[in-house]
Structure 1
């Protein structure tokens, strides 16, 4: 089939281009050059038959990678012969003749030699040959590094991150701030202010407080007060049964993570949440070591108020907020992070910014010291990638793969300025172990890696014609492992309890608490299968049971029963410093979750003390005493029985037979 190129056929254009070659280019072409730089239809067919099958997901842009031979306009400016097709099987309306194929091959070889002869000094380091990727062995020991009970429940994994030290830190700093506030505002507080009834919070109360807070991510209401509203349309009996509204509001108002009077931290912009950040950074890295493939990206916690280090990222949904750099496994587990507070070169190692740049210093800062020199493969986007970073990570036995901006220093300019006509075509250059690729997709994409060769593989995806989709191996691997931070963001967004707040540190602190809860779920899923929402419900049920049960022996003096509005000066509670508490505290053994059929059972156990039978409340037009409910004990044992008696003192007001189900329900954890 003949095609027109500026008024000439393809054969005429190729013949004229071949005869008009420069005299300093040798007409003969070695077999090595042909094997390394030429992509022919014959070789495409061979590679299609021998290409390995690789399964895996891909992003929306690369999933549409068209398996079609590159359509290069030979009458236009010369283009290198390593512009390769991402597919070995093209679905065209006609077939080219053998003469056209041979002429095209001669033209590609001639153009490649012409470019090679015309390279300037800066291009000389980049070659048209295959690279030798890094082959460093993986020496880390991934997996959970703390003891976990056999047949552990979700609450045991939750307690891996939320230890007694965490709860004591929150109680200590919250009580300290409450006393500081009340001492400073005693004369100005209204007479009926809820703050005048403040008593110091205990560990158990703090557990109930956060259980209700996280539950708000499941049961969303526009105002906090509505969770305690008794309107039948929106009534949620669990909230008033677990904690009074004014008490929850008081704890939320005084919630604190650090000592305001610590003069040594005045220059730290994150001093309000520094103890919490330090605690979770240590827990995320010591509880679990990730596997070989990790990724680095940024998160954005929404915040539109006044804040010195508030960022604007138009590509994020929230746009305004606090930026957090995160290192995640492909599963979404967050292993390391730090909050960006503005330009501060002193936050990195001395001389690191000069070596790899500011964005590269972020990568090294997150990797050091846990992930460097151990053979990890890190995947990044074009904000971080650079030649200097790839060279530095290579010296630290760490592989890197990521997109890169075309204006980075040291890239081959001839290849950057090359125009790839056909979507799916690509061109590459190599320098040592590094591979630079220009790919034509919906837009031009640039990759830099020291982990892969420029080979094309067959995936398990198929196009509209039911043919296998082919793509670059580095693109396939990048799509498979780069999405760790995005997956983390997605899982957090499903049941997030974050709300607008007047204090930025409370919102950031709540974000990290949700991150720890998500990390515990990811670790649980590595051993057992459970939907995300069921896991969170199970954890919150056990947390409420643990918080409303009998006081634990290790719940030390963090509560003062004396009311704040008593006569005389406000008493000061003895506060144990966080460092001393951490040194003397022993790891808490997580309690067995007291749950049955997904119901909170803390309010029903302990015999019949405080629980009395009562008629089922009026509902569905039936008066009290005639309304019926199923007996939960009988239903659990496969018997359908309707009763008119229930227990109004239990959270869920279950229907129960007068005997023996009422006694069984209030004395047996499992029935």
Structure 2
């Protein structure tokens, strides 16, 4: 339901980013991962596709690990990208991803569906020509090779003996920027649009509702609430572009207020709730009218039950009669003298047969 509403409520820009989010969780599951480069290091992994300009989360896929007794999945990177992009095929958009997702087959599959791809490539890929991996080149020198005039491999010597390989299907002409170290357009565009998911994850840490828990469904639910709150703020920010220093904080406070008011209004009609002074004071802060008397009803017995519940519970008669300062509230009375009595020390249980007992 969350993923369906995220995609339905927002139309992304022409640039989207595919990357992973690791939200903190140190419990024992089959799919808890350890990624030392992440701030949390331990957690559950979710692959996201986000808008590269507004950082809006569009769709996510949970990593659930290898199935018990199953085989290791092959071409997982291609399956993830194609699944995340299934609603944006034939749209002319450009996908930016890191070297985990960059493969030649993925670039071809996206090109057949009119989607461009830009990403870094690991040096151990077999489709990279040896000339692009040659470390004996000068720094800031770029080599480019094309396949079928639409898939380009770019090798930029950023540091001595450390070439950077880029795979792109969005750049058909080679040009470099002398003001930025003669970097090619593939690297400049990748640096500009690659941080969609990372920026989203950074924004989630600023205002989060997560709490310490050992239950992984609850930890995942906290992350879903944070995602929904961030997505709603991004939509609100684009509809109301006025600048404000605490804009997101004010939005979250107002969002929480609008979420709790219907529930508090419903609770105000319950005598079990509004009989407490603290709850009535909290409701008055939200301008919720608390009834002065019991809810009106035609049933006299129901009115009497409301009145009994709303009244203060008495203390146990034996504790009140003694000189001890100990008090124990109770809602039970003695069957003989009708005095309030507790169920722990000053009462006993009686057992009898049912009315239809044969004896």
The alignment's TM-score, normalised by the length of structure 1, stands at: 0.38
The corresponding residue for 2:346 is none
2:310 paired residue number = none
Kindly state the Cα deviation for residue 419 of structure 1 after the two structures are TM-superposed: 2.7
Mapped to 1, the partners of 2:38 and 2:286 lie a distance apart of: 46
* Structure 1 residues 451 and 608, CA gap change in structure 2 (3 angstroms): closer
1:435 alignment partner in structure 2:
152
Secondary structure of the residue aligned to 2:205 is: helix
Structure 1 unpaired stretches of 5+: 1-278, 345-352, 459-466, 554-558, 562-599, 611-671
> Which deviates more from structure 2 when the two are superposed, residues 434-443 or residues 514-523?
434-443
Partner of 1:17: none
Residues 1:407 and 2:129 aligned together: no
For 2:263, the equivalent position in structure 1 comes to: 547
Q: Distance in 2 between matches of 1:445 and 1:399?
A: 20
How far, CA to CA, are the matches of 2:266 and 2:26 in structure 1?
Answer: 42
Structure 2 residue aligned with 1:605:
287
Residue 500 (1) aligns with residue 212 (2):
yes
Work out whether residues 295 and 483 of structure 1, in 8 Å CA contact, stay in contact via their aligned partners in 2: yes
Q: Return the structure number with greater relative CO, CA threshold 8 A, min gap 6.
A: 1
Q: Is 1:448 aligned to residue 167 of structure 2? A: yes
Match of 1:382 in 2: 99
1:434 & 1:444 partners in 2: Cα distance?
19
Which residue does the alignment assign to 1:335? 58
Tell me: CA distance 1:434–1:540, structure 2 relative to 1, closer, same or farther (3 Å).
same
Q: Is the 8 A contact 1:545 1:602 kept in 2?
A: no
Q: Deviations over 1:266-305 (max 9, x none)?
A: xxxxxxxxxxxxx111111112221211010000111112
For residues 532 and 396 of structure 1, what CA distance do their matches in structure 2 show? 37
Aligned equivalent of 2:352: none
Contact 2:209/2:225 (8 A) holds in 1: no
Give yes or no for the alignment of 1:482 onto 2:194. Answer: yes
Could you tell me how far apart the structure 2 residues matched to 1:361 and 1:500 are?
33
Deviations 1:110-138 (A, max 9, x none): xxxxxxxxxxxxxxxxxxxxxxxxxxxxx
Deviating beyond 6 angstroms after TM superposition, the runs of 4 or more aligned structure 1 residues are 607-610
- The yes-or-no answer on 1:537 pairing with 2:253 is yes
Which of 179, 183, 205 lines up with 1:471 in the alignment?
183
Alpha-carbon distance, 1:521 to partner: 0.5
Aligned equivalents of 2:111, 2:229: Cα separation in 1: 35
Q: Do 2:264 and 2:283's aligned partners in 1 also have CA atoms closer than 8 Å?
A: no
C-alpha distance in structure 2 between counterparts of 1:602 and 1:546, whole Å:
14
* SS of equivalent residue, structure 1 residue 526: helix
Counterparts of 1:362 and 1:608 in 2: how far apart (Å)? 52
8 Å CA contact retained: 1:549, 1:602: no
CA RMSD of aligned residues (A): 2.8
Structural mapping, 1:67-78, within 5 Å: none
Q: Give how far 1:450 is off.
A: 0.7
State the Cα distance separating 1:444 from its structure 2 match.
Answer: 2.8
Relative to structure 1, the CA distance from residue 550 to residue 404 in structure 2 (aligned partners, 3 Å threshold; closer, same or farther) is: same
The match for 1:417 among 134, 140, 148 is 134
- Measured after TM superposition, the shift of residue 470 of structure 1 is 5.0
Q: Does 1:301 align with 2:18?
A: no
Question: How many Å apart are 1:439 and its aligned residue?
Answer: 1.3
1:549 is displaced (CA, Å) by 2.7
Q: How many residues align?
A: 270
Deviation of 1:343 after TM superposition, in Å, equals 3.3
Structure 2 partner of 1:398: 115
1:361 to 79, 82, 85: 79
Residue 63 of structure 1 is matched in structure 2 by none
Cα pair distance change 1:470/1:527, threshold 3 Å: farther
Q: Deviations over 1:374-414 (max 9, x none)?
A: 22211111000011111111111110001011111211112
| Structure 2 CA distance for aligned equivalents of residues 439 and 393 of structure 1 | 24
Q: Partners in 1 of 2:93 and 2:141 — Cα distance?
A: 30
* CA contact 1:387–1:409 (8 Å) conserved in 2: no
Matched, 1:517 2:229: yes
- TM-score after normalising by structure 2: 0.68
Aligned to 1:285: 7
